[in-house]
Amino acid sequence: MKLLKKIVVFVLLAVAAAGAYYYYQKTHQPKPEDLYRLDEVTRGDIEQTVSANGTLNPVSLISVGTQVSGIVRKLYVDFNDQVKKDQVLLELDSALFNAQIVQSQNSVRNNQASVELAVANEKRMRELYEQDFVSKQELDTAVQVMKSAKAQLESARGLLARDQTNLNFTIIRSPVSGVVINRVVDVGQTVAASFQTPTLIQIAQDLAKMQIDTSFAEADIGKIKVGQKVSFNVDAFPNRNFEGVVKQVRLNSTNTSNVVTYNVVVSVDNQDLTLLPGMTAYVNIAVEHVKQTMLVPNAALRYKPKQDADAGKDDKQKENAGDKKDEAAGDKNGPGGEKRGERGARRGENGGGEGRWSRGGLGRGDGGGEGRGERRGKRPGGGNMGKVYVLREGKPTMVRVRVGITDGRSTEIHSRDLAVGDKIIVSELQPDNQQKPGGNNNNARGPRMF
């Protein structure tokens, strides 16, 4: 009798403990908000842009050089000075050129005297020839000497004109009206123009009109068209947005480390002269704009439940193991494996996917029930398919969506199974190694017994 009472008491205690545990589980069940980070499906405008860095430059930058060599004796302009067309910028030492002019002038006088003598001799010979005192040959010689003297006189005059031109080149004048951006030389510096024209001063013709020289990758260049609006920022004014227009997409490409880029020129209005030459511009070109469409965060499209992720890893490991077996079987079976590979590829076609060949000759169809194939993720409009997870009845439910453009933070989607305001899962708040309530933790270690 006592034993029976003990059994009844033990059973009642066990039932009470089970009820208490069940009540505890019900009252302490975590809310979905405690397990997942959620966000909402919203509706709004989205704009897709392509970005690159560039440099602000004047539209017309004139490099003023010199055709003659010499020492800079006088300098009339400095940095940031406004200059007018034909204004004197600097002067080179002209002593050598003045000496050459004196020498050329004396050469002209000498040749002019020779011409006068030759003309007189030719006249005298012609009179004597008419009186038959000299021969025809002597007359021809006098005529030839006269013509040669005149030619030498013209040559001397040409040398004099060249020397005078070189003397004029020692005075450097501005070819345009503008502002001095850079001054390379200083007083007393020697400039040599033997092989190439040295740059002395750089003048920007008009800083009210500037341009950005930038480069875009070949993956983005097809979206950029002349006339598109451009927004950009500079480090000098980080809180101010500037605007421009695509002026030119140059056809000449640049290949750097197998990366192909194309130069894009952006026209910028700089009436207040805020922007300066050489500034780094962070350019964004709007290539597509959609109004009032459903939007989700990009993290929602990247999210995958932990169970699906673990299953995907297991499937990949099994697939790799299967590939190794197929290779071994193909090497062993030879022609027979080739036939089985053909049948496997045919099954892949019938399954709706694409049949793949393994190296051993065994084909495997990636369509059908497995749902893996080249066609996954494609929609009939040329867009892509994605998936998001919606929290329904406390559990994540997968919803397939058609993906549109993105701005780097949000993505345009289209789906009949979603509405504005639906809660979508962005990430899990529970760590991977934390046991879910009510679940079995196989990795749990019991208390150490000492």
How many Å apart are CA 250 and CA 239, to the nearest integer?
31
- Tell me the C-alpha to C-alpha distance, in Å, between residue 331 and each of 324, 335, 358, 363: 11, 9, 11, 14
Q: Which residues contact 333 (CB under 8 A, 6 or more apart)?
A: 340, 360, 361
pLDDT at 68: 92
Buried b or exposed e, range 25-51, using 16+ CB within 10 angstroms: eeeeeeeeeebbebbebeeeebebbbe
Query: What pLDDT digit, counting tens, does each position of 243-253 carry?
Result: 999 999 999 99
- Rounded to the nearest 5 degrees, what angle is found at the Cα of 330, between the Cα atoms of 328 and 333? 110
Average pLDDT over residues 153-166: 95
Among 38-52, 211-225, 362-376, the range scoring the smallest mean pLDDT is 362-376
pTM for this one?
A: 0.62
Question: Has residue 90 got a pLDDT over 70?
Answer: yes
CB 419 within 8 A of CB 291: no
Average pLDDT over residues 8-31: 72
Average pLDDT over residues 202-208: 93
Q: Which residues contact 434 (CB under 8 A, 6 or more apart)?
A: none
Of residues 185 and 448, more confidence is placed in: 185
Query: What pLDDT digit, counting tens, does each position of 118-147 carry?
Result: 999 999 999 998 888 889 999 999 999 999
How many Å apart are CA 210 and CA 274, to the nearest integer?
11
Percent of the chain exceeding pLDDT 90 equals 58
Instruction: State the pLDDT confidence band at 44, using cuts at 50, 70 and 90.
Output: very high
Angle between the N-to-C axes of helices 95-130 and 136-169, in degrees from 0 to 180, rounded to the nearest 10:
160
Among 49-53, 211-215, 310-314, 407-411, the range scoring the smallest mean pLDDT is 310-314
pLDDT at 25: 64
Average pLDDT over residues 412-425: 90
